Each structure stands twice: as structure tokens, then as C-alpha cells.
Structure 1
Amino acid sequence: MTTLRLHGEGAGDDPHVGARALGEVLSGVLSGVLEGAVGRAGGAPRKFPVRGLYAHVPFCFHKCHYCDFYSFVDREGRSGAFLDRFEADVAWACERIEGEIDTVFVGGGTPTLLTADELRRLTAAIARLPLARGAEWTVEANPETIDREKADVLAAGGVNRVSIGAQSFDPKHLKTLERWHDPANVARAAETLRAAGLVNFNLDLIFGVPGQTLDEWRDDLAQALALRPEHLSCYGLTYEPNTAMTKRLQKGEFDPCDDEVEAAMYDATRTTLAAAGFAQYEISNFARAGRECRHNLVYWRNEPWWAIGPSASGFVAGHRFKVVPRLGDWLARGVEAGGDGSQPVVDVEPPDEKRHTSEALMLGLRLMEGIDAALERRAVELEPARAAVFARAIADGLLERTAEARLRFTHRGAALANEVLAEIV
């Protein structure tokens, strides 16, 4: 199983390259790209409906060797400058978002590496956005960075969901992943969140770690369940290009987990969590009733979301875009633009029906609900060869049609989702 990389992209340590040197690349700011594409209304900035907001906080105290999200150790103490720029981008977004935002996800990096006062600034800025009543607001956290003061700040600021990067409860596997927290601190963090009223928390876990056995993974699941989370994200370790761990694998420094063992781990995950009352609603995600991650559902249902922070990716007015991927450039662009908060973006993809349909297929089929007949029909119209792929996958017991005519993975097919999706998309 692999995790879908929707926000943040690995770029190694920030070299602090100046925006002026990248002027050609960074000239397509969001205001120019989108407002140029769809026009302005009465001289005022054009507004765009979005369902969610992704905010990226790039600071970490250590770059894990398997991670390809944009993050770095803040050796230069730039969190204050980051928050200044973040507040400006929020102000700019407030003028351009139509309607209410239903989900917020603050990821990284490690957002909770910020001090309590800095978290207060961050949450106060986000709270200025047009958030819907009852909006889901998630913040990612490392177990070592959660204390009662920070938990209280998050709760008071409007956060109602926390995602804890546990990854494993076995010290030797944490060492392999270069996660340096004490496993006991996961339980401490969970109790601290509960005491602050943040009872809705997720635990991120990774299986298929080199040297990991099936019994050790079962023990990880048991320890996670003992903490009474509302949600579990269980991902097979993925060797992303250019990460330190992938380079070590390519040098033959260790052997990856056996495919059959990893498949058994995934099967054990589904069986164990189902018995514990968790419903699987996506390839790698499990939740108690009503606790599905609404923000990730925005991604998987291909709905629009805004993005703020270096390397954050967004999807607005049919355009996919990525905010400039280096903190130094992001800060410099703010100065170059006169501090007006205009978003500097790169890799803008204008609307394209074929690409949009392929993305909708890939994302929608990751969900246990699958895709509706209209999307399946349009996908075949655009790529007729897909009809045979769908038919073969159904005949092989990998896909099935529900009574509502939705197409979805079978239990067996979900375990082979990557291979099937590669053929379909």
C-alpha cells in the first residue's frame, strides 16, 4: 500500500535561494493565473468556492529518511518570518474565497514544533478565514511536541482533530525510520489531548518496515487500539524517489520487507481494525462511525481546496497549483510583491478533462464507496481501452459493481489497488 502524496513535496533542506533569481518561474502568481483565466468582477478580486484549506508548516527537528514532504530543521529561526508571511497569505485568501470552508488541515513538517505563542498566532490567522460552523480542523503533531499548554492553545483556537505521527511502537523500527520519539510518549500525547478536550485524534502507523515481522505489526495495532483513537491511517512503507532511505536501499544497505509479509500485514490490519469497530473507508484509512477525515475526503472526491505555505498544493477553479516550494523563495516573494500577500505559485495545471477524469478515477477508486456510473462512463468515452480493463478486473474479482451501480474494489482488489490503478489510469 502507498500513501497518496497530496500536500507538500520533498525538496531536501532549504538552500535559501532568492526569489529574484527565480523570477521567470515565479512570475505566475495565483492572482494572475486564475484571475487572468476566469476574469474579475467589477474590479474586485474574483472569488472562488473551495471546500478545504491545506496549510503547510515546514519546520522539523529532524528530517526522517523516508519522508518526501517539504520540511527542514529550522536552524535559522525563521518561524517568526514564516508567520508574518502566513498571515499575509490568509488575508489575501480571505478576499478571494467564496462561501465557507468546511475542512482545514495543517500539516508539515511538524506544526506543533512551533511554540505555544506561535501556534496561537497560526490558529488566530486561520480563524479569520470563512470557516463553516462545525468545520473539521486537523493539526499534525509529533508525540514529543505535544504538551498541555500547546494542546490548550489548539483547542482554544478552534482545532478539533489532531493527527499524531506514531508510526510504530517498536523502538528498533522507529530507529530504522529515523523517528526519534519514545514510544511511551505516544500514550502521553494521547492523554494530554484528551485532557484538553481533543478526543478526536488519529494515529499514523507504518508497516512493511525492513525487518518487521507480522507479529510485531500486530503488536503495533494492539498498542494503537489501546489508546482509543477515533481514526487510524496505516500505510505500507513507500520508498519515494531521492529520499535518504531510498538511496540506502539502492546501495543494498538493507533488504525491503517481503511482499508476502507486507500483504499479510495489510490483511491483518483490515481484520483487526474491523473487529475493533473501525470501518475502512479508503485504501489506508479506518475510522469509527462518523470520524472519517473530512479533509482527505475533499481530496479523494476531487473537490476544490485552497493552499497556503511553501510547497503546499491546491486545486481551485479547475487549476491545480503548487505554492513556491522553498521557504526562502516564499518569504522573498512576499517582499518582492510589496508584502501584499499574493500567493506565489509554480506548476500550474489548467483545466483538462482527460487529466481531471483520470485523477477522479484514481482518487475515487481509493475510497471503499468507489465511483459512480457517470464517472465510469465518461472515463471509457475518453479512453475506450478502459472498458476492457474494467471488465477484466471485475472478472478477476478485483472490482465489483454495487446495487447502486457504483464501481469499487473488492476486499482482494484493495490489496492490489496500486497495480489495478496503474492499468486504469
Structure 2
Amino acid sequence: MTGLPSPDPLKFAFTAKTSAHASRGGARPLALDDKDWQAWWQTATEAEERALYIHVPFCKKRCSFCNFFENGANPARMSRYMAALCDNLQQAAKTPFALSAPFSAVYVGGGTPTDMAVDDLARLAETIQGFPLTQDAELTLEGRLNGFDEPKWHTALAGGFNRFSFGVQSFDTQVRQQAARIDDRARLLERLAELTRYDEAVIVADLIFGLPDQDDAIWRQDIADVMASGVHGVDLYQLIAMAGTHLDRAESKGKPGWAADSQQRASMYAYGAHTLEQGGWQRLSCSHWRRSETEQSRYNQMAKRGAEILPFGAGAGGNVHGHGLMYGRDLAPWHQALADGRRAPGMVMGRNPNAAMDALLRGALDTGRLSLALLPDPLRGQLLPLFQVWQQYGLAALTAEWLELTLAGRFWSVNLQAGLFEYLQLNPLAGAGERGPHANAAAVRPVEIVGHSVTGLRR
């Protein structure tokens, strides 16, 4: 929960980052029949902000670090899927639930959505326009530069897409080949220059640090390349070792090639953050920077702070009427359910009574700054001991008004979020249906930290 005391918290506060996201958890699956499901779509939303997430689970090639690969990008299978998906979207767009409030962001993710055919892209764009969108709605298409040619680019623009997020990962040709990426450095830079020349839409690039064969010199060049590429925003993501990936299998055989350890990755993050900010780029979150205010990263921020996100497609996730929802990945039952007019198979979760506060905490820590005035007095008092230890360990700066993560805290932000939610689970506030602070006494032990004891803090 606290991290470890260290003279260099950036490198040693935690042993590793093991997850891309953190949540309190504890919600249980909800039994929901088709009648109740249909009733949800006849009920107006109570959400203050909403977005759509549309999943296209196809990829031309499986990257070495990815364990989300679902289906090869077979053109016939993709077109069949897109037809069913657009039919599903058209039906949903006409319901009282969808029409009851506008959507300010749409994210088409995957997979590799840019692998879809031009005609399918045009139909998807037209279908999205059937939903009530705010005048300044952010419409993002995710994918890769390879295969995203001029016809697709102009079709997407004409259809209303105004933001494109490309998984570059690294510009270095050798590192890219090791990661099973397709284009070389020269082609990536050429295509990004073409897409950003006239500022017709926001272009964002994702970079990963810690890839095999990506040493400090290559990472410095990656940062220089992305800053010179013309993109409006960049994400810096740490490579997370995931079971079931090609990289994991190669490592088990002793063949992954050289890769940076956790301490070197921390230095890579620090270099990227410092260099971007010294170059005038503004940090919007612990992992995202922009060079232009045209980049809002609206969908990502909405997702972090708990907006209602309607999911569509096999493998899509979101939340409806305050209930978490995740559709199954298998295409066959997904197609069959839609053909039969039934809800696609998946899991619906019960309501999280702490959803609003969890979203506030997660969203704030993702940006690196939490206003303590937003916390009810009892919760602020409950969390202060944890925040004080974070400050002692060099992970945060604490004032009467703010908790602000340091560079080290931002690097370990997801670990801190996970620790915070574990702390709240072990030490729930009394009242409002929650048990008292010592309800889990068997699971909570005092920890001596810098001269004083803090109940419930475990490293």
C-alpha cells in the first residue's frame, strides 16, 4: 500500500508494475435476464457524462508483447462482424436510453480497427452519427499506421472522426522487428508527417519503454522522433510482462534478447517526462502529454473518472446504469445472440456503492493531483495517514489543499491506486452501509513507519 522506504523512490519504491489499471473490486455478478436487459434500454440515463466504446477485435499480426490478440484480420470475417456490429449500433441508437443524453466521446478500439475495409469504415462512421453527440464530441479511431492509406484517412475524416491514436511503440526498426511490428522507422515518420501536415485531426502516438533491445540511446531517439513527428499527443507506457504473450514464451526459453529492468524503465520514464515538458509539452496524466490544446484525451479521462460508457462488440467493456459490463470475446455466440435478438453473452456486475468516490480518486491520481477539498471529511481523515507515508517515501507532496504525486509517484501511480483501494477495503469507513474501520481486524496489522504506527498499512 505504501511502497518501500528508499533513497531513490523512482527506482525502488515498488518492485514492479504488474497491472495497467487498479480498482477496489468486490462487486459481484448480477443475474440479468433478457427482459430486464431490454427494460434498461427503455430507461433514461442518470449519468452526467457519457461515451461510446466500440470494439473491433481483429489484428493483421500479433505483437510480441500483446495478450489481447483475438482474431486474425480476415477480410470476410471482419466485414461480417462490422455488418452485425453496425446493425446492433443502429438499433441501440434509437432506444430511449441512448437518446436520453448526448455522448461527448466515442472510442473505436481493438484489436486494430484501422484494418477494416474502407466501406466498413464508412458505414461505421455513419452509424455513429445516429447517436446524439455533443457538438464538440471527440471521435477516436485506434489502430496502426500500416495499411491506413489515403482512402481510409479521408473516409474517416468525412465520417466525423477527429482523433486518431496509433500504436507506434518504438520508431527503431530493429526494436520494432523484435516486437513483430510491421513498418520501419522511415515509413512511420513519413506517414505521420503526411497525416499531421494540415492539422485536419488530432494525431496521437503510443510509445512503450522497456521493449527487448530498446536501450537508453534508442529510447532517447524515440522521444526525439515523436517530438519531431508532428503528433499532437503521446502516451508513454511501461512494458508489463503478461502471461501468454510471445514475449513471455520467448523469455521462458531464454530467448527474449536484452531488456531494461524495472529500475532502467523508471529512468526511461523520467527522461521522457522531463524531455517532453522541457520541450513545452503539457502533461495531462501520468502517462499522457500533449503539444497542442487541440488534444483533449477526453475519452481516456472520462473512463478514469467513471463516466457512463456504453460498450458494443465482442470483447467490449463499459458500464450501463452504474453496472459494469463485459461482453465475451468469442465471435460465434456473439453473432448468434445478435441474430436471435438477444443480449450478447457476457458478464454484468452489481452496482458498486462506492463507484463515484472510487472514480474521483482514480481519476485524480491518474492526473497526479488530488484536491483534498473533494473528499468528505471522514474519508479525508481516513486517508491522510496513507498520504503522509507516501510523502515520507518521496511519492507525493501533501499540503492542506492538495495531494500531488512526485515524478516517482507518477511512475508508480497504478501501484499507489491499488494500494489506496486495498487500504479502503481493509479499513472501510463506518456508516453509509459500510463496516467500521476495524471490521477486518484479522487482515489488518499495524505497521511501524518512520516512528509511528499506521493501522492497516501493509507494504
TM-score interval, smaller chain: 0.7 to 0.9
Equivalent in 296, 299, 311 of residue 295 of structure 1? 299
Count of residue pairs brought into register by the alignment: 392
Equivalent in 360, 385, 392 of residue 389 of structure 2? 392
Larger radius of gyration: 2
The answer for the alignment partner of 1:347 in structure 2 is 347
1:125-165 deviation line (CA, Å, top 9, x unaligned) = 11111111111111012111211111110100000111111
Q: Secondary structure at the match of 1:73?
A: coil
Decide whether aligned partners of structure 1 residues 79 and 406 sit closer, same or farther in structure 2, where only a CA change above 3 A counts.
same
The answer for the alignment partner of 1:314 in structure 2 is 318
Check the 8 A contact 1:31/1:343 in 2, yes or no. Answer: no
Letter in 2 for 1:104: V
Letter in 2 for 1:4: A
Farther-moved stretch of structure 1 (160-169 vs 45-54):
45-54
1:349-397 deviation line (CA, Å, top 9, x unaligned) = 121224664454334311133354334756568xx5x443222112323
- Work out the CA distance in 2 between the residues paired with 1:145 and 1:196: 20
Q: How does 1:90-239 map to 2 (within 5 A)?
A: 90-94=89-93, 95=95, 96-97=97-98, 98-194=100-196, 198-239=200-241
The answer for the alignment partner of 1:411 in structure 2 is 407
Q: How does 1:213-292 map to 2 (within 5 A)?
A: 213-254=215-256, 256-290=259-293, 291-292=295-296
Structure 1 gaps of 5+ residues are: 7-24
Instruction: Check if 1:56 corresponds to 2:55.
Output: yes
- Work out the CA distance in 2 between the residues paired with 1:5 and 1:106: 20
- CA shift, 1:284, in A, is 0.9
Check the 8 A contact 1:141/1:163 in 2, yes or no. Answer: yes
The answer for the alignment partner of 1:330 in structure 2 is 334
The answer for the alignment partner of 1:362 in structure 2 is 362
- Work out the CA distance in 1 between the residues paired with 2:376 and 2:237: 27
The answer for the alignment partner of 1:16 in structure 2 is none
Q: Secondary structure at the match of 1:225?
A: helix
Letter in 1 for 2:65: Y
- Work out the CA distance in 1 between the residues paired with 2:323 and 2:181: 36
- CA shift, 1:103, in A, is 0.5
Decide whether aligned partners of structure 1 residues 406 and 325 sit closer, same or farther in structure 2, where only a CA change above 3 A counts.
farther
The answer for the alignment partner of 1:71 in structure 2 is 70
Check the 8 A contact 1:389/1:423 in 2, yes or no. Answer: no
Check the 8 A contact 1:171/1:183 in 2, yes or no. Answer: yes
Decide whether aligned partners of structure 1 residues 198 and 100 sit closer, same or farther in structure 2, where only a CA change above 3 A counts.
same
The answer for the alignment partner of 1:421 in structure 2 is 417
- CA shift, 1:273, in A, is 0.5
1:8-29 deviation line (CA, Å, top 9, x unaligned) = xxxxxxxxxxxxxxxxx99846
Check the 8 A contact 1:161/1:198 in 2, yes or no. Answer: no
Check the 8 A contact 2:189/2:229 in 1, yes or no. Answer: yes
Decide whether aligned partners of structure 1 residues 301 and 31 sit closer, same or farther in structure 2, where only a CA change above 3 A counts.
farther
Structure 2 gaps of 5+ residues are: 1-16, 23-28, 422-459
- Work out the CA distance in 2 between the residues paired with 1:26 and 1:244: 35
- CA shift, 1:314, in A, is 0.7
Q: Secondary structure at the match of 1:320?
A: strand
- Work out the CA distance in 1 between the residues paired with 2:265 and 2:253: 22
Check the 8 A contact 2:196/2:231 in 1, yes or no. Answer: no
- Work out the CA distance in 2 between the residues paired with 1:30 and 1:162: 36
Decide whether aligned partners of structure 1 residues 272 and 29 sit closer, same or farther in structure 2, where only a CA change above 3 A counts.
farther
Q: Secondary structure at the match of 1:408?
A: strand
The alignment's TM-score, normalised by the length of structure 1, stands at 0.84
Check the 8 A contact 1:35/1:46 in 2, yes or no. Answer: yes
Decide whether aligned partners of structure 1 residues 390 and 195 sit closer, same or farther in structure 2, where only a CA change above 3 A counts.
closer
The answer for the alignment partner of 1:22 in structure 2 is none
Check the 8 A contact 2:30/2:350 in 1, yes or no. Answer: no
- Work out the CA distance in 2 between the residues paired with 1:201 and 1:372: 34
Q: Secondary structure at the match of 1:314?
A: strand
- CA shift, 1:121, in A, is 0.8
- Work out the CA distance in 2 between the residues paired with 1:416 and 1:233: 15
- Work out the CA distance in 2 between the residues paired with 1:259 and 1:26: 39
- Work out the CA distance in 2 between the residues paired with 1:276 and 1:77: 46
Q: Secondary structure at the match of 1:189?
A: helix
Check the 8 A contact 1:143/1:185 in 2, yes or no. Answer: no
Check the 8 A contact 2:112/2:143 in 1, yes or no. Answer: yes
- CA shift, 1:166, in A, is 1.0
- Work out the CA distance in 2 between the residues paired with 1:163 and 1:225: 15
The alignment's TM-score, normalised by the length of structure 2, stands at 0.78
- CA shift, 1:215, in A, is 1.4
- Work out the CA distance in 1 between the residues paired with 2:410 and 2:36: 41
- Work out the CA distance in 1 between the residues paired with 2:336 and 2:197: 41
Q: Secondary structure at the match of 2:370?
A: coil
- Work out the CA distance in 1 between the residues paired with 2:161 and 2:313: 18
- CA shift, 1:275, in A, is 1.6
Letter in 2 for 1:389: L
Letter in 2 for 1:320: G
- Work out the CA distance in 1 between the residues paired with 2:175 and 2:297: 27
Check the 8 A contact 2:53/2:108 in 1, yes or no. Answer: yes
